[in-house]
Structure 1
Amino acid sequence: MELELNRRNFLKGALVTGGLIAATGLVGCASSDSGSGDGAAEVANDATQEVTNEEIVPSETMDCDICIVGAGLSGLSACVQAGELGATVVALESTDSTGGGGRVGVEGSFGLGSSMFKEKGIEIDKTEILRDELSQSQQRADATLWLDLMDVAGENIDWLVGQGVEFSGEIDNYHTGKFDVFHWYKNGHCAEGYVPPMTTRAEELGVQFVYQTSAKQLIQDESGKVVGVYAQNEESGEWVQVNAKAVVLATGGIGSNPELVARIGYDADRIGHMFEFAKGDGYQMAMSLGAKDMIPGCCDQNAPMIPALPQGQSNMLFGIEPEIPWVNQDCKRFYAEDIVVSNMSYSNPPKWNQKDYFMIWDQKVLDTFDSWGTDGNDIPALIEEAVQTDNGSVYAADSFAELAEKFGLDGAALEETVSEYNRMCSEGKDELFGKDPQYMQALDTPPYYMARPIWVVFCVVGCIGTDHNAQVITPTFDPIPGLYAIGNDGCMLYRNIYTIDTPGTCSGWGIASGRKAVSHAYENYVK
């Protein structure tokens, strides 16, 4: 029982406090023909063509040493580090405030070897972390990049403290991770402990923030070196030209761009996104210069939601209930549904191998569903309302055969699958996938339900190829001079799955890459 409670607490922490506490609705969903292009080149060319076909006449020109595109967690790290080095900095931010995804999706950061870590007497062999992470990526992740992060993670936490960042003082494994390396920010929110003090510190160091202004096109000199960027004000439509000795992309990834997300492996007509930022501007600009495309193999954080219900945490939490079986277009189960308990991202790749996929459950599941969402939505009641509307995404019936027919599937096949599943539940053993018996609950209480969810994306990590200095690279691993990508844009730590056994590494890399990028730029292009 203790194990079950811990795992439920993990899910609660990972979703409710893990950045979705401010998210109450679905922002967008792609049309059925989204993502039909041939890949990065086509997407990037389409994006840049829209800009280059316009006559860009800047109403203002700004000069600086380093232009940082995006002022989220990694962008703020870069701003402060560049300011400390004495570089002049212009930070372009598409929204009206700093913080980006850090305001809604970060609770703490990886800090192996920090002063706080040492004071608590924690001892961890970094090779254990390395072997675990490489095993989870099937050795596809760069081991030397992980070593780079572990070498500077503790120092970075200490540096943040020196900038005024506030931590709670608690260091743990983030509920169910393997290693006690997660340094919690004040009250468990980057929006409180990190964003305000880092913004203040950047302003003290002379960083010039330009809000509601989105970078659209990179500027190169005759040698191919990046020497600036054209950006457009979101309200007035006016253009600004920022001349710089180096440009750092910190735009948060591609998570709110359904066309690009579809290239990971999802159906384009079943993608939505939680947040408006992370539209893929940095990715598209980098691809337009021939950068290495890392979308195939990059990792994402998302969760299933039933379209007919109000979008939010309760809907999402229902979609990842480990007791609920999933079936494919042939009405067959295709994975162990409890893999979401240790990491909700584990349930994503199995869907990439199916033509279609559905959730099935009975009245007993609804009667026992305990929503931890802060949106207050009564999911059982909302499902009961939705099934009366013939909405196309969720139905109820007195037999599974009837439900299958609602979606054009083989009713006899679904009845057979449910019968076999119920038998395994009664025997306490999942003979197919080894699902934990505590989540094996027979579907035997009518009415029965079936839904065809969509995928709501929170973030995508690692879409632009980068090297150890966060320089953007070409497919032949050559750096594009003067161009860097940090945070979610250029994080190369993971492949397909965002691993959380070593918690806080994504935000830890955001901090590390921000510092690395501007330090390299300063030494090579500014100093």
Structure 2
Amino acid sequence: MERKGIVMDISRRSFIKGAGLAGAGFAAASLAACKSESSASDANTGESSMPSTGVNANNAPSSWDTPPEPIDDAQISEVIDTEVCILGAGVSGVVAAAVAAELGARVLVMQNKETIHSQGSGAAAFNSQRQTENFDDEFRSELVRLKSLYEGGLVNHELVSLWLDRSGEAVDWVLDRIEEDGVTASFDTYENWREADDQAKTCPISAMWGSPDSMGSMAIISALAPRAESMGAQFIYNTTARQLIREEGGEGRVVAALGEKSDGTYLRVNASKAVIVCTGGYEANDEMRDTFMPHANRFKALSDNKGEGLQMGRWVGADIDPAPHASNIHYNYLPSDPFGSGLPWLRVNKEGKRLGNEDIAYSFLPFLDIYSEEAACYQIFDADYDLYYPRMIDHGAGIFRSVPSPKFVADAVTLQTTEDTSSWSDLDKTWQYYLEMGSMVRADSLEELASQFGINYEELQKTVDRYNELYDAGNDVDFGKKPERMQAIRKAPFYGIRREACVLGTLNGLVINNRMQVLDDKRKVIPGLYAAGNASGGRFFGGIAQAMVAPATTISRALVWGYLAALDICQA
């Protein structure tokens, strides 16, 4: 099945009013002189018996796994010598460039777009100096326990521990350098969402980043990239990395990267110290998704990343995390998407049938949709939403239930209605805002609601009747949802929201050790090759989707891994 990618260009205003509302909860080292390439003796040990590459889910050969013909020297129009070559100018690449440049290395960043680029609203940290609390071992063990619970035995706890040990340091290093540009990170805005069963509890480790000119991860790199350039780092745009050069017949050190320029010729960058792959994931590569994450192959892609970095690494002998790969899957990705995609209202498909237990962790809700015709769902509730909402978030409810709060949304929006809203609740204002945007539906009858969405009305009525019966009995014998998360659907008007999930990013990639060095299929270091961000693997994220036990760790991992890769390459 072909997946349609979505590439977005959201203004700051629309981000604040839309995507910023949806993602509101996401929301100094001593640097020494550079050193030469590290030895391979510190590689992680342990091998997997699972084949990681070579065939897709249907056991057909994968074309991406077949090395192309080497690029002929006659096609190379330019050669540049540097020390550290970084492929990709997202968070991991820009942070790595800034660290390496500050350490005195000659740095070149190769970016396939016309400018730096990242998507994401925040970056988490553990024990940053900016946080209002110091986190103790009890919280740390709780976070690790929840990550193990939701991501299973596929998690590499050595990398998780590395992030816990170094993320505060890395985030503080970045903020120490860009706060003067107006970049801030608000770590302690939403403490209550940690109360939910699927969230790390009580500690606000996630931060929403922003500046006067940009939001989220773009605020980080928009301030940090000019700083890297001021220290001598060179950024080359509209040049797509295509191949790596490895010495000794593909058995030695990675010494160069080849990038395709906009005129079809190639740039060769010789890197005397290392190449860092920061090219992002492969969410827009259907064949790679079929190979590594067939469980999510019906969800749209938010970016145009095609996995070039993983492919280049594979072609010089790197290993890739075995399937299944995790991904960052969200419903809330457009400015018009309504609040509450994680709320456990009744969910049905276009046939009008209930999809399952709507009270499961947000990370896994989209998988209820994959057997539907559209890979989408419809949340259905009635006029008594103010009665049921407090019960649904009692004891906390987690991401996109109680965070962002209806009050946050209501205070942030401007309504076009001419009605007197003085007696309206926060939910009243929130729903009215999205009704005006056209992203939710209100109807005087279930039949009218079904007609507006194109849902099978007869089946929907049967589903609602059964749901009301289970609510009255106080026992969801069909799917086991907690009684306090149920609600009757009887009182007009009725409301509906169509939800369609997408893959923001794939989260597994080139296998790395705890120094960000890329490993081959025998878990030996490939000298001169590093990876960070979504191009890196090693199982920091496990399972079939990112478990939101610590939201904003995707951007944080990119930041921390880019920081650590540059330190490892350049420290004395």
**Counterpart contact for 2:19–2:334, Cα < 8 Å:** no
Cα deviation for residue 422 of structure 1 reads: 3.0
Residue 5 of structure 1 corresponds to: none
Q: Taking structure 1 as reference, are residues 83 and 53 closer, same or farther at Cα in structure 2, changes over 3 Å only?
A: closer
Which string of whole-angstrom CA distances, capped at 9 and with x for unpartnered residues, describes residues 298-326 of structure 1? 32122459xxxxx9344576866531324
Residue 435 of structure 1 corresponds to: 481
SS of the aligned residue for 2:359 comes to helix
* Alignment map for 1:207-286 (pairs within 5 Å): 207-222=233-248, 223-233=251-261, 235-245=262-272, 246-262=274-290, 263-266=292-295, 268=297, 270-276=298-304, 278-286=305-313
Looking at structure 2, the residues matched to 467 and 40 of structure 1 have their Cα atoms a distance apart, in angstroms, of 30
**Counterpart contact for 1:324–1:359, Cα < 8 Å:** no
Residue 318 of structure 2 corresponds to: 291
Residue 182 of structure 1 corresponds to: 206
SS of the aligned residue for 2:187 comes to strand
Residue 410 of structure 1 corresponds to: none
**Counterpart contact for 2:331–2:499, Cα < 8 Å:** yes
Give the letter for the 2:163 counterpart.
Answer: L
Cα deviation for residue 271 of structure 1 reads: 3.4
- Structure 2 residue 204 is matched with structure 1 residue 204: no
Out of 490, 502, 513, the position equivalent to 2:550 is: 502
SS of the aligned residue for 2:320 comes to coil
Aligned residue pairs, count? 463
Looking at structure 1, the residues matched to 354 and 149 of structure 2 have their Cα atoms a distance apart, in angstroms, of 26
Residue 482 of structure 1 corresponds to: 528
Q: Taking structure 1 as reference, are residues 378 and 237 closer, same or farther at Cα in structure 2, changes over 3 Å only?
A: same
Looking at structure 2, the residues matched to 427 and 500 of structure 1 have their Cα atoms a distance apart, in angstroms, of 32
Give the letter for the 2:439 counterpart.
Answer: I
Give the letter for the 1:97 counterpart.
Answer: T
Q: Taking structure 1 as reference, are residues 261 and 18 closer, same or farther at Cα in structure 2, changes over 3 Å only?
A: farther
CA RMSD of aligned residues (A): 4.2
Out of 180, 184, 190, the position equivalent to 1:168 is: 184
Residue 107 of structure 1 corresponds to: 122
Give the letter for the 2:235 counterpart.
Answer: F
Looking at structure 1, the residues matched to 73 and 510 of structure 2 have their Cα atoms a distance apart, in angstroms, of 28
Higher relative contact order (CA 8 A, sep 6+): 2
SS of the aligned residue for 1:105 comes to coil
Q: Taking structure 1 as reference, are residues 257 and 297 closer, same or farther at Cα in structure 2, changes over 3 Å only?
A: same
Which string of whole-angstrom CA distances, capped at 9 and with x for unpartnered residues, describes residues 438-476 of structure 1? 553456689999999764221111222111111112232
Looking at structure 1, the residues matched to 311 and 209 of structure 2 have their Cα atoms a distance apart, in angstroms, of 32
Q: Taking structure 1 as reference, are residues 334 and 382 closer, same or farther at Cα in structure 2, changes over 3 Å only?
A: closer
**Counterpart contact for 1:397–1:447, Cα < 8 Å:** no
Structure number with the higher helix fraction is 1
**Counterpart contact for 1:313–1:375, Cα < 8 Å:** no
Residue 471 of structure 1 corresponds to: 517
Cα deviation for residue 272 of structure 1 reads: 2.0
* Alignment map for 1:44-193 (pairs within 5 Å): 44-45=64-65, 48-49=67-68, 52=70, 57-98=75-116, 100-101=117-118, 104-110=119-125, 112-117=126-131, 120-125=132-137, 126-165=140-179, 168=184, 170-172=186-188, 174=190, 176-177=193-194, 178=201, 179-186=203-210, 189-191=215-217, 193=219
* Structure 1: 5+ residue stretches without partners: 1-10, 21-34, 306-310, 404-413
Q: Give the TM-score normalised by the residue count of structure 1.
A: 0.74
Out of 352, 359, 377, the position equivalent to 1:359 is: 377
**Counterpart contact for 2:123–2:217, Cα < 8 Å:** no
* Structure 2: 5+ residue stretches without partners: 1-17, 28-54, 195-200, 386-426
Cα deviation for residue 41 of structure 1 reads: 7.1
Percent identity reads: 24
**Counterpart contact for 1:62–1:243, Cα < 8 Å:** yes
Out of 407, 413, 437, the position equivalent to 1:377 is: 437
**Counterpart contact for 1:79–1:91, Cα < 8 Å:** yes
Q: Taking structure 1 as reference, are residues 478 and 495 closer, same or farther at Cα in structure 2, changes over 3 Å only?
A: same
Looking at structure 1, the residues matched to 113 and 324 of structure 2 have their Cα atoms a distance apart, in angstroms, of 29
Cα deviation for residue 40 of structure 1 reads: 10
Looking at structure 1, the residues matched to 356 and 523 of structure 2 have their Cα atoms a distance apart, in angstroms, of 36
* Alignment map for 1:295-374 (pairs within 5 Å): 296-303=323-330, 312-314=334-336, 322-326=344-348, 333=354, 335-339=356-360, 344-349=362-367, 359=377, 364=382
- Structure 2 residue 470 is matched with structure 1 residue 424: yes
Give the letter for the 2:293 counterpart.
Answer: I
Q: Taking structure 1 as reference, are residues 444 and 162 closer, same or farther at Cα in structure 2, changes over 3 Å only?
A: closer
Residue 508 of structure 2 corresponds to: 462
Which string of whole-angstrom CA distances, capped at 9 and with x for unpartnered residues, describes residues 250-275 of structure 1? 1121223333234412464x332223
Q: Taking structure 1 as reference, are residues 472 and 373 closer, same or farther at Cα in structure 2, changes over 3 Å only?
A: farther
Q: Taking structure 1 as reference, are residues 45 and 494 closer, same or farther at Cα in structure 2, changes over 3 Å only?
A: closer
Q: Taking structure 1 as reference, are residues 519 and 318 closer, same or farther at Cα in structure 2, changes over 3 Å only?
A: closer
Looking at structure 1, the residues matched to 327 and 377 of structure 2 have their Cα atoms a distance apart, in angstroms, of 21
**Counterpart contact for 2:257–2:269, Cα < 8 Å:** yes
